[in-house]
Amino acid sequence: MGEIFELVADPPRSVLSPWDQWRANETTGCYETEDDAKRDLMGHVNDDHWEVYQEVAGQVIHPKQDCHATKVTADYILWPKQSLISQGWSIGPVIVEVKKSGHKLGPLLSQAFDYMRCQFSPAPGVSVRPKFCVVFPLARVQETVQSIMSHERVGHSHIGEDGLLRIYLNGTLTYTQKGGIFLRHAMRSGRKFGSK
């Protein structure tokens, strides 16, 4: 006779580690709603470093075959201020797309990949095609998913245990809220085309 196992409910999301959430191919953290995640993100953005544009309209300039969508809206564009540029930030503005915790990565990354085919207008008379899109909250990415994200120039971001905003590009810590900038590996991927 087989063993009898007691059915145990899944642990609440707040007690799952970022590693467990990553293995489940989900966004990390314990934000119950997208608005919760947005509030926390905006509470950690350094106003001395970034000009924040919200709900930024974009135009598809490199459409996919048989895809007729022409317009998108990004949650945020972080535009670097002179104080950040003078410290060495050379990547330009960054798109940030926000979801609640536990959101499946597949649809989110597809959305981010599409944004890299778009040109955005954060202010009247201003158009920009950012070099990177960042998804939040996502604390950890590795292996195949990381490789694909790097090729498509999609990074990830989260609030660390020390309360600092972190941005990762190409799997490498690229920015911390206090102004730490680490660009050595930031542009190594996303330049190749065709066979690798």
Is the confidence at residue 170, as pLDDT, over 70?
A: yes
- Give the pLDDT band (50/70/90) at residue 173: confident
Instruction: Tell me whether residue 2 is in a domain.
Output: no
What pTM, to 2 d.p., does this model score? 0.81
Structurally, the chain folds into a number of domains equal to 1
- Give the pLDDT band (50/70/90) at residue 20: low
Instruction: Tell me whether residue 153 is in a domain.
Output: yes
Instruction: Mark 91-111 as b/e (b = at least 16 C-beta within 10 Å).
Output: bebbbbbbbbbbbebeebbeb
Task: Report the distance separating Cα 47 and Cα 156, nearest Å.
Answer: 20
Cis peptide before 130 (omega within 30 of 0): no
Which of residues 190 and 79 earns the better pLDDT score?
79
Closest-CA residue to 155 (of 188, 194, 196, 118): 188
Q: Are strands 154-159 and 118-123 parallel, antiparallel or unpaired?
A: unpaired
Query: Which pair of tokens denotes residue 67?
Result: 């895809």
Instruction: Tell me whether residue 35 is in a domain.
Output: yes
Instruction: Tell me whether residue 5 is in a domain.
Output: no
What are the DSSP calls for 117-167, one per residue? TEEEEEETTEEE--SEEEEES-----HHHHHHHHHTTEEEEEE-TTS-EEE
Q: What is the pLDDT of residue 1?
A: 47
Is the confidence at residue 112, as pLDDT, over 60?
A: yes
- Give the pLDDT band (50/70/90) at residue 185: very low
Is the confidence at residue 68, as pLDDT, over 70?
A: no
Instruction: Tell me whether residue 34 is in a domain.
Output: yes
Domain range for 125 is: 18-176
- Give the pLDDT band (50/70/90) at residue 161: confident
- Give the pLDDT band (50/70/90) at residue 25: confident
Which of residues 123 and 95 earns the better pLDDT score?
95
Instruction: Tell me whether residue 4 is in a domain.
Output: no
What is the mean predicted confidence (pLDDT) over 165-178?
A: 87
Q: What is the pLDDT of residue 70?
A: 80
What is the mean predicted confidence (pLDDT) over 56-70?
A: 79
What is the mean predicted confidence (pLDDT) over 27-51?
A: 95
Give Cα 27 distance to the centre of its chain: 10
- Give the pLDDT band (50/70/90) at residue 116: very high
In the predicted model, what is the mean pLDDT of the chain? 83
Instruction: Tell me whether residue 122 is in a domain.
Output: yes
3-state DSSP percent of the chain in helix, strand and coil, to 5: 20, 30, 45
Instruction: Tell me whether residue 33 is in a domain.
Output: yes
- Give the pLDDT band (50/70/90) at residue 143: confident
CB 118 within 8 A of CB 59: yes
